[in-house]
Copies of this chain bind each other. A is one copy, B any other.
């Protein structure tokens, strides 16, 4: 079936109509770990996978206590060069993240390389993403209508909040191409793992390697936690390989 496009972005700027799917069960297994970004970052370190984590001091969650896992559906926005007050009078909206909602499969995570000092996603957009079954979004740049997206239950991690619309200030120029956010380059289908500590991006081709090591490390951590609660001496539980 052919999806009707929104027209917000030229069709040749949509690099993939569908975000590559993660391996079966990968999302569920990561969600089962609770707040996994620390152990995911460790596994990427040990497997030699570079530069894949961003701090929650930089990408702040709108709904603390949430863990989100899903494949990246990427969006790249750039500045318009125009007087925004004139743009507002003329009403020509160039924001294209609705096209991404349009293309989204259930479980996708929108990853928006946006523009600072303005909103790259508002409440109507969050509601639309929720209805489409998206897991949530990561936004480099501002977002708005925070209370609305919280009520809807659509979690966002963003670098900023701003009441000012991007409608006449930015332009969406690519969907499902490469994006870069906070020192990390992300490709469509990379697996996004986000919690209160930050966001990790697992390269698509390494998801299962990382997942296996993560589960092994999580088991060792569980053993160690029990030992701590059970009163084992610090000199023992502090060994790096305790429980492995």
Contacts and interface: CB of A to CB of B under 8 A. Distances in A.
Q: Which residue among A34, A85, A145, A238 has the maximum number of chain B CB atoms within 10 Å of its CB?
A: A238
Interface in A70-120: 78-86, 88-89, 91, 93, 98-99, 101-102, 117, 119
Interface string A169-203: 00001000010100111100000000111111001
B165 A38 contact: yes
B197 A162 contact: yes
A18 interface: no
Number of copies of this kind of chain in the complex: 6
A125 to B, nearest CB: 9
A7 to B, nearest CB: 8
Q: Which residue among A38, A46, A127, A241 has the maximum number of chain B CB atoms within 10 Å of its CB?
A: A38
- Would you call the interface of chain A mostly helix, strand, loop, or mixed? mixed
A53 interface: yes
Contact of A35 (B46, B117, B148): B148
A178 B173 contact: yes
Contact of A101 (B5, B128, B180, B234): B234
Nearest to A127: B228
A48 interface: yes
A81 B53 CA distance: 12
A26 interface: no
Contact of A146 (B56, B86, B231): B56
14 contacts: A8-B238, A35-B148, A38-B163, A41-B164, A55-B161, A57-B160, A57-B162, A98-B234, A124-B221, A124-B237, A146-B196, A147-B197, A161-B197, A163-B198
